[in-house]
Amino acid sequence: MRCGRLLEAVTQFADSCWAEPKDSRSLSVLSRPCHSCFCVLALWTQWTQCFISREVNSGFFYKSAEEREKLVKAERKFIEERVNKIIELKQKVVGDTNKGFIVINQKGIDPFSLDAFAKEGIVALRRAKRRNMERLTLACGGIAMNAVDDLSADCLGHAGLIYEYTLGEEKFTFIEKCDNPRSVTLLIRGPNKHTLTQIKDAVRDGLRAVKNAIEDGCVVPGAGAIEVAIADALMKHKSNIKGRAQLGVQAFADALLIIPKVLAQNSGYDPQETLVKVQAEYAESGQLVGVDLNSGEPMVAAGAGVWDNYSVKKQLLHSW
C-alpha cells in the first residue's frame, strides 16, 4: 500500500515536470450528446528513473534489469486499474446508446492509456488548466474527481457538442450545448492588444449593464432625458428656496445638463442648440425627451428603446 502511494506521488511529480508526446487522438470531435468525466489524475507511466528537483527528492532504485522490469510492470498495472475503472463507468452509463463519453484530465495521459480509451470510444483531453476545470464543472455540471475509487454517474457532466477548432496557430476545444450552464466563455479576436483591450472593456461594460438591470428590476429612459427632467424640476423648485441655497440648486441643475451637452458634442452637434431644443420639447410635451445622436433632434427615449441603469442614476444623484 505504501509502495503504491509512493509510486502515485512520483508519477504525478514526473508528469508535472516533463512534457509528453503529442497525440492527435486526444482531441476528437463529438457531434452527439456526451457525458463528461472531469479528472485530476496521473495517467502517465513512462517515468521509472530517479527524479530530483529543488523541492522534492524522490525516486526508485533497482539493482538489476529484472527488478526494473518488475517496477515497470507494477507501474503499468497501477495505471491500467485506473483506466479500467473509467472504462467500466463509461460502459455502465452509456451502454449501447448513441451517446459519447469524454474524459478531461488536468494531468497527463500516456499513449497506452489513450489507446485503451480510443478502443472503447472514449475521447480523452489532457493537461486542462485548473481554472478551466473549475469553469467546466459550472458549465457542464458534474464534479472534478481526484481519485477513481469514488467514480459514479452522479459525478458526470453533460454537453451536447464538443469539437476542436483552429484559429490561426492556436487550437481551441469548444464545449457547447450544455444544460443550464453557470459559466460561459467569450472568445475575442483582434488585430492587436489595444483593440482586444477596447473590445474586452466594451463587453464588460455591456455585461455589467445587463447585470445591474436584472438586479434593479427596472430601467430609466436614457439619452440624457432623466437629467433634463431633473434639471427642469430643480429650476422650478428654486423659487421656493431663499438665500444662498438657490445657488446650490442652480449649480446642481447646471451640472446635470452636462450629460446631454456631452452627448450632443460627441455626436458632432452644437451642444447649446441641441440642449435648448430638448428643453423646449420637454416643456411642451411633458415626456422624457433625450438627444437623438443620429440627427441631433429631441426624441422620446423610451419610444426609441434607449435606457439607462437605475442604479447608475441613483449613484449619480447620491454622489452630490
The x, y and z cell numbers of residue 114, run together, are: 489513450
Name the pairing type of β-strands 100-105 and 34-39: parallel
> What's the predicted TM-score (pTM) here?
0.55
Name the pairing type of β-strands 100-105 and 122-125: parallel
Summarize pLDDT for 134-171 with one digit per residue, the tens. 888 888 888 888 878 878 888 888 888 888 888 878 88
DSSP-H helix ranges across the chain: 2-17, 65-93, 111-119, 130-140, 193-216, 225-238, 245-256, 258-266, 271-285, 301-304, 310-318
15 compared with 69, residue with greater pLDDT: 69
Summarize pLDDT for 102-129 with one digit per residue, the tens. 888 888 888 888 888 888 888 888 888 8
